[in-house]
Amino acid sequence: MEYNTTRNYLIMKEYGRNIQKMVEYLGTIEDDEERQRNAMAVIELMGTLNPHLRNVEDFRHKLWDHIFNISGFTLKVESPYPVPTVEKLRAKPDRLPYPKKYPRNRHFGKNLEMIIDKALHEDNPEKKEGFTQCIGNYMKLAYTNWHKESVHDDAIKAELLAISNNELEFHPGHSVAVPSTGGFGNTGSGNTNTGGGEQFRTNKRKGFQQNNKFKNNNNSGKNNNNKHNNKYSKNRNK
């Protein structure tokens, strides 16, 4: 009995031992035409054993690459595609250029340091103040997401001063209209829009007026209904 421990290494396990034996037999055929014909038959069999490859783009190209890989890149047949090489298959990818600098405050992330650096180099005082308030509001949001509890404004103010070397001072509750900067604008906080409160109060007054109008119409309908019932009762008594 033949055991797997006595057999050679199975290169591509998804095709099985029999396909590998067929490819090894192709290398022993001396006639070029017969070897080419048998190689085409093995390609068709490999596609039948792996129907999922039919949904892949250029699946026949993959089958030809696989048969060359199983043969150890020694099979002498004509392929409709470029013949792969062992150097190309085993080539190592280029090393990714990972950033070598790590953020000093990892709980706030790297982007906050970039925004703080942009605010420090801003010459316009209004934009610099707007950046500071937006940064403080974002720090409060990040603290709440991590700790699931509220944080005092003085703590955010002190930490922002420490990060920016006492150059950016956060003013809690201070409304600042942030000008458009082409990439860092309104962060969605309520303090950056000064006209929202007035518009809200106007809509609220309109809602009260419509509600009172509805109540008056409802009361008038009830009065008319009562008059009709009283008239009906008098006519019935007669």
Torsion angle, CA of 16/19/24/25, rounded to 10 degrees? 140
Residue 142's domain comprises 110-192
Highest mean pLDDT pick, 56-65, 94-103, 228-237: 56-65
Q: What is the mean pLDDT of residues 222-230?
A: 55
- Terminal-residue alpha carbon distance, the chain: 118
Cβ-Cβ contacts under 8 Å for 108 (sequence gap 6 or more): 139, 142
81 with 136, same domain: the answer is: no
Picking from 59, 89, 119, the residue at the C-terminal end of a domain is 89
34 with 75, same domain: the answer is: yes
84 with 125, same domain: the answer is: no
The whole-chain average pLDDT of the chain stands at: 75
Considering its fold, how many domains does the chain have in total? 2
- Rounded distance between C-alpha atoms, residue 125 and residue 167, angstroms: 12
pLDDT the model gives residue 101? 67
pLDDT the model gives residue 183? 43
Q: What is the mean pLDDT of residues 64-83?
A: 92
Backbone angles phi, psi at 208, to 5 degrees: -65, -40
17 with 83, same domain: the answer is: yes
pLDDT in tens, 167-204: 888 877 665 554 444 444 444 444 434 444 455 455 55
124 with 166, same domain: the answer is: yes
Q: What is the mean pLDDT of residues 2-16?
A: 86
pTM of structure? 0.44
Picking from 23, 56, 89, the residue at the C-terminal end of a domain is 89
CB 49 within 8 A of CB 43: no
CB 71 within 8 A of CB 86: no
pLDDT above 90 (res 230): no
pLDDT the model gives residue 182? 45
85 with 114, same domain: the answer is: no
What stretches of 29-88 adopt beta strand conformation (E)?
Answer: none
pLDDT band for 1, please (50, 70, 90 cuts): confident
CB 127 within 8 A of CB 179: yes
pLDDT in tens, 83-135: 988 888 888 888 888 766 666 676 677 778 888 888 888 888 888 888 888 88
pLDDT the model gives residue 220? 56
Ramachandran bin of 48, using left for φ above 0, alpha for ψ from -120 to 50, beta for the remaining angles: alpha
